Amino acid sequence: MTNIVTRKSITFINNQTPATITESSLDLDTCYKETEIVIEVYAAALNPVDLGFQKLTFAKISNSKPKGIGEDYSGVIIRKGVKVAPIWGIGDQINGLYTHFYGEQGTLSNYLILDPSQHPAIGHIVSKSTPATINEEIDVDDDDDDGNGKKKNSEFVKNAAWPVVFGTAYQSLFGQGQIWNKDSMVLVFGASTSVANCFVQIAKNQLHIGTVIGICSSKSMEQNQQVGFDYTIPYDEGEGFIANLRDLMKTPEFIGKKFDLIFDSAGTSEFYPVMDEFLKPRVENSYYVTAVGPRTPVEYTPKEILSLYSLSAPIRTYNPWRKFNYKGIFGTPNKSYMDLAARMISLGRYVPKIDSVYQFEKFEEAFDKLRSGKAKGKIVIQIKE
C-alpha cells in the first residue's frame, strides 16, 4: 500500500507569470533515493533573491517547467534512505539552507527532498537555555493571536528565519581570515537589515569585538543599539552618513582610529571615494565586504539584481593595484555556521529577528511586504501549524 500525499508548492514559470500554488501527487514511499531524506516543511523564510531570480527568468529563454521558490526551511524528517548518515533520523526536527538554481522544488512547499551530504547547511533545531529579550513576539496575519496582534514564535518559525542571513553574516566575519578582539573596530552600513542583525550578535556575543558601529535611519537607531551596536549613525539627518561618521570619528575615543572591516548589507558606493579615510590600510588585512553590491534600495529590476555581478566587482576584488581589499559575499552553504548558530541560540546569544509570519495561502501578501522594503526582520511563511 502506497502513502500518496498532495504536494503543494509555490512556483513560477518566468518573469511574465505570477507565482502560484501548484499541486502534485507524491508517493512518500518511493519519492526519495537511498542517500536522501524527505522533510515535511513547517516554515520557510523569504529572501530578496527569491524575487530577484524570478525577475531574471526571461520568457524567451526560459523553459515552461514550474520553478520552486525559497531556500530557508524548517521541518521534520519523515523518510530517510538507507545510506543517509545516522545523525539524521526519522522524527528529527531540522532546519537549513536548500540551494537551487531554478530547480523544480523550493522550500515554499509542504515537502522537501534532499541529500544532506550535498546540502551541508543543515542542522537540528535547538531551543534556547536562557530567556530571550529580543523579538520574542511578532506580527501575525490572522486572528490566532493574544488579542494584541502578536503571538509567540514557534520553534519552527524562528529556525526557518536565519540560515541564509546567518550564513551571510558568518562569512562576512570569518571569510577573510581576520582575527577579532576587544580592540577591533567594525562599521556596518544597513544596520537594520536581517543580515546586520545576525552580524552584530555574532560580533558582540561570540567574537567580543570591541566596537561595532551601525549606519541606519534615525528612527531605528535606538532599537539597533538594543540589539548590540555600540554606536549608531543616521543616514537621513544632517549632511548624510559620511559627514555624520566623520563627526563621530573626531571625538576623543576615535581620533586616529580606523576600521578593520566595513560591511555593507544594504547597498552603497559612497565609501569608495573616501575609503582611505575610514578603513585601515590594505596590508593590515582590512576589508570592505558587501552582501548586495553597489546599489540603492532594491526595486527588483534585472539591471539592479545584476549589479553585484557587474564587471566592477571582479576588478575591485582581483585587481593587483586595488587600493583596498574588496569582497562580495554570496552565502555559500556551510555546516560550520549552522552549528555556530545552534550553539548561540542554545546559550541565548543569538535571537533571530522576525518581522512577520504569513499563512501559506497568503504568500502574495508576504511577497508584497518583501517588495515594500519596510520589513524589519525576516518574513516567514508558516506552512504547517
pLDDT at 145 over 60: no
CATH of 4-128+352-382, one of 3.40.50.880, 3.90.180.10, 3.20.20.80, 1.10.3720.10: 3.90.180.10
pLDDT at 252 over 50: yes
At the topology level, CATH places domain 164-328 in Rossmann fold (3.40.50)
Segment 335-347 mean pLDDT = 96
Better-predicted residue by pLDDT, 255 or 321: 255
Residue 179 to residues 175, 203, 260, 381: CA-CA distances in angstroms? 11, 12, 10, 37
Query: Facing residues of 111 across strands?
Result: 40
CATH 3.90.180.10 positions along the chain are 4-128+352-382
Better-predicted residue by pLDDT, 177 or 63: 177
**Strand-by-strand arrangement of the 4-12 sheet:** 20-27, 4-12, 67-68
Better-predicted residue by pLDDT, 263 or 145: 263
Residues whose CB is less than 8 angstroms from the CB of residue 5 and which lie 6 or more positions away in sequence, other chains included: 25, 26, 28, 111
Segment 50-65 mean pLDDT = 74
Task: Please report, to the nearest 10 degrees, the dihedral formed by the alpha carbons of residues 352, 358, 361, 366 taken in order.
Answer: -90
CATH 3.40.50.720 positions along the chain are 164-328
The predicted-structure confidence for 214-231, as pLDDT tens digits, reads as follows: 999 999 999 999 999 999
Q: Which amino acid is located at 381 in the chain?
A: I
Segment 354-375 mean pLDDT = 93
Residue 23 pLDDT class (50, 70, 90 cuts): very high
Distance CA 154, CA 356 (A): 12
pLDDT at 311 over 70: no
Segment 92-102 mean pLDDT = 91
Rg (CA), the chain: 21
pLDDT at 317 over 70: no
305-323: string of b/e by CB count within 10 Å (b at 16+)? Answer: bebbeeeebeebeeeeeee
Identify the three-state secondary structure at position 236.
Answer: coil
Segment 113-128 mean pLDDT = 92
* Nearest in space to 100 (alpha carbons), one of 176, 157, 183, 164: 164
Identify the three-state secondary structure at position 270.
Answer: coil
* Nearest in space to 66 (alpha carbons), one of 106, 120, 116: 106
Distance CA 101, CA 53 (A): 9
Distance CA 370, CA 72 (A): 15
Distance CA 377, CA 90 (A): 31
pLDDT the model gives residue 322: 76
Cell reading at 300: 527588483
Residue 136 pLDDT class (50, 70, 90 cuts): very low
276 contacts 323 by C-beta, under 8 angstroms: yes
Cell reading at 97: 539552507
pLDDT at 20 over 90: yes
Query: Which DSSP helix (H) or strand (E) runs through 343?
Result: helix 335-346
Mean pLDDT estimate for the chain: 87
218 contacts 243 by C-beta, under 8 angstroms: no
Distance CA 113, CA 107 (A): 10
